[in-house]
Amino acid sequence: MRILAFSLLLLISFTSPAQKLLRVGVAGLTHDHVHNIMNQFRRGEVIIAGIAESDKQLIQRYKDTYHLPDSLFYPSLAALLEHVHPDAVLAYNAISEHLGVVELCAPKGVSVMVEKPLATTVKDAERIASLAAQYHIHVLTNYETTWYNTNQQVYEMVNGQHAIGAIRKMVVHDGHQGPKEIGCSRDFLGWLTDPVKNGGGAIRDFGCYGANLMVWLMQGRAPIAVTAMTHHIKPDVYPKVDDDATILLEYPDATGIIEASWNWPFSIKDLEVFGVTGYLHALDGNTLQQRMKKNYDSVAVHPAVYRDNLPYLADVLSGKIDPGNDLSSLPNNLIVVRILEAASRSAKEGKRIVL
């Protein structure tokens, strides 16, 4: 009987949630990725302690869509933080506004997770890092591709199992037909296509994914130089920013090629890694192929430890895991911002930029 009771206890411990639900504040509603947290809230996976937004039409739209009470809304993040102390604040505003979120949260000891990329300038990114260190908070960056089972498995196969030898070339394709073409909201387009608020067009919106993955695969190493070129294929649609970019990351022993565009025939986020002895291609979040000279095989993909941002964030805040140099970490994303700033400069000046 005792053995049966112990077995049931073990079963419960492995099948029950390991931690209580996070209480989060939401900073802004202009980023269309905010639908992710709203759907997580609707599924009972998170508690929203408050939402900071001043745009009345935007507030009404989200109230109606997700049946949110008036009591959740505050006119500013400062007002929200005066009334509630969330476990963390998730930023869904313009990239240029991320620093302002951290400046308000850090002195109150509230950690922050922003949508990619971390910042529009190296100056802002370094200020964010300084505040995080001063007030001992976490500042994390959320990318859709972080939670791809395939990407996590590629990392393990390359850096854990050494399945294809040392990396020699990495290629990432990211983007879609264009944010207007796929139906992004007017509020999102308002800053996504602004050269100051977003830092650029496709070069920032989708260039960040490749930079993030490549720095991670290279185990936290920054490239020695960056070269980039951009195109303005649809100036009538995107008059202020580029809509296509190619970025080269130069390592002493490897090359990274990032192809970021608002001109793909379809949505794409894939990763190719070429090693000394073989090749891996993550076509999407769950499809992985491997080629070893003559053999080209599909690889069985196993589930990653974390499938979305909330369990990961909870484990970071509880001290269960250390972000280290992983995809969401501050060290990785400081390098990403350096790469993006160098890429924009390279495209503008037409020269190779040494980091």
DSSP per position, 306-339: -SSHHHHHHHHHHTSS--TTSTTSHHHHHHHHHH
- Write the pLDDT tens digit of every residue in 22-47: 999 999 999 999 999 999 999 999 99
Q: Give the CATH fold of the 147-305+328-354 domain.
A: Dihydrodipicolinate Reductase; domain 2 (3.30.360)
Helices (H), the chain: 2-15, 34-42, 56-66, 77-83, 98-105, 122-135, 149-155, 186-192, 202-205, 207-217, 309-318, 330-349
Residue 294: pLDDT band (50, 70, 90) is confident
Whether residue 8 has pLDDT greater than 90: no
C-alpha 217: how far from its chain's center? Answer: 15
3-state secondary structure of 234: coil
Residue 295: the pLDDT is: 87
C-alpha 327: how far from its chain's center? Answer: 8
Structure tokens at 18: 């390991």
| Numbered ranges of CATH 3.30.360.10 in the chain | 147-305+328-354
- Write the pLDDT tens digit of every residue in 148-181: 999 999 999 999 999 999 999 999 999 999 999 9
Alpha-carbon gap, residue 171 to 206, rounded angstroms: 13
Cis peptide before 117 (omega within 30 of 0): yes
Whether residue 1 has pLDDT greater than 60: no
Residue 192: pLDDT band (50, 70, 90) is very high
Alpha-carbon gap, residue 231 to 185, rounded angstroms: 24
Q: Express as a percent the part of the chain with pLDDT over 70.
A: 95
Alpha-carbon gap, residue 191 to 110, rounded angstroms: 26
Mean model confidence pLDDT for the chain: 94
Residue 313: the pLDDT is: 98
Q: Give the CATH fold of the 2-144 domain.
A: Rossmann fold (3.40.50)
Span 196-214, average pLDDT: 98
Contact assessment for residue 44 and residue 67, using Cβ atoms and an 8 Å cutoff: no
Helices (H), 84-148: 98-105, 122-135
Whether residue 6 has pLDDT greater than 60: no
Whether residue 322 has pLDDT greater than 60: yes
At residue 259, what are phi and psi to the nearest 5 degrees?
Answer: -115, 105
Q: Are strands 167-175 and 73-74 parallel, antiparallel or unpaired?
A: unpaired
Residue 19: pLDDT band (50, 70, 90) is low
Whether residue 15 has pLDDT greater than 70: no
DSSP per position, 246-289: EEEEE-SS-EEEEEEES--SS-EEEEEEEESS-EEEE-SSS-EE
CB atoms within 10 A of CB 131: 18
Residue 163: the pLDDT is: 96
Contacts of 92 by beta carbon, 8 Å cutoff, 6+ apart: 26, 27, 28, 29, 30, 31, 33, 34, 37, 115
- Write the pLDDT tens digit of every residue in 100-134: 999 999 999 999 999 999 999 999 999 999 999 99
CA angle 84, 17, 329 (to 5 degrees): 65
Higher pLDDT, 104 or 9: 104
CA-based nearest residue to 166, from 227, 225, 219: 219
User: Which neighbouring-strand residues pair with 89?
Assistant: 25, 112
CB atoms within 10 A of CB 203: 28
| Numbered ranges of CATH 3.40.50.720 in the chain | 2-144
- Write the pLDDT tens digit of every residue in 52-95: 999 999 999 999 999 999 999 999 999 999 999 999 999 999 99
Contacts of 233 by beta carbon, 8 Å cutoff, 6+ apart: 243, 244, 263
